[in-house]
């Protein structure tokens, strides 16, 4: 593969590495979730999961900011795919929160799991929407 080829769209536009950063974000969230699950129902040491959630949150925000700076992009397609996948993943995250509450997950662990689910429910739709829109013809930037 030629250097720089991965971050160029089919039309030749250079795009930020949104997909790669989104996958990295999910890796951090999954590691944190597995770490917590490995300790439940006993006491969960929260240092590592808190660090992972903070890092994942920073990556998610940086990803959104990097993508928001792209002017020539298929924003209509991005928002169409994004809103419907966000709706679906918000429902999934909501059901998981319900399960955690019903299973009497301790408050500090529950708060951390909810933070992970919020990142999950925002990151995956971002990945889906970007992955579809990057192959569509560019439209103008969204109005601000």
Provide the 8-state DSSP code for 141.
P
Q: How many helices (H) and strands (E) does the chain have?
A: 4, 0
Instruction: Cis check for the bond before 141: say yes or no (omega within 30 of 0).
Output: no
For the record, the structure tokens of 75 come out as 């924003």
Query: How far apart, in Å, are the Cα atoms of 78 and each of 2, 13, 64, 87, 135?
Result: 27, 16, 12, 14, 10
Which residues 6+ apart lie within 8 Å of 115 measured at CB? 53, 57
Q: Dump pLDDT digits (tens) for 84-115.
A: 999 999 999 999 999 999 999 999 999 999 99
Cross-strand bridge partners of residue 139: 73
pLDDT tens, 25-49? Answer: 999 999 999 999 999 889 999 999 9
65 pLDDT above the threshold of 60 = yes
Domain ranges of the chain: 18-133
């Amino acid at each position: 593969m030629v250097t720089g080829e991965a971050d160029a769209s089919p039309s030749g536009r250079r795009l930020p590495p949104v997909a790669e950063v989104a996958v990295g974000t999910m890796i951090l969230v999954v590691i944190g979730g597995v770490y917590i699950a490995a300790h439940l129902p006993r006491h969960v040491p929260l240092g590592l999961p808190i660090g992972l959630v903070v890092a994942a949150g920073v990556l998610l925000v940086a990803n959104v900011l990097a993508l928001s700076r792209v002017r020539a992009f298929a924003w209509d397609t991005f928002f169409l795919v994004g809103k419907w996948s966000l709706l679906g993943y918000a429902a999934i995250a909501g059901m998981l929160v319900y399960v955690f509450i019903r299973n009497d997950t301790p408050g500090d662990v529950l708060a951390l799991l909810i933070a992970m689910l919020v990142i999950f429910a925002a990151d995956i739709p971002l990945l889906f929407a970007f992955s579809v829109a990057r192959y569509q013809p560019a439209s103008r930037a969204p109005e601000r």
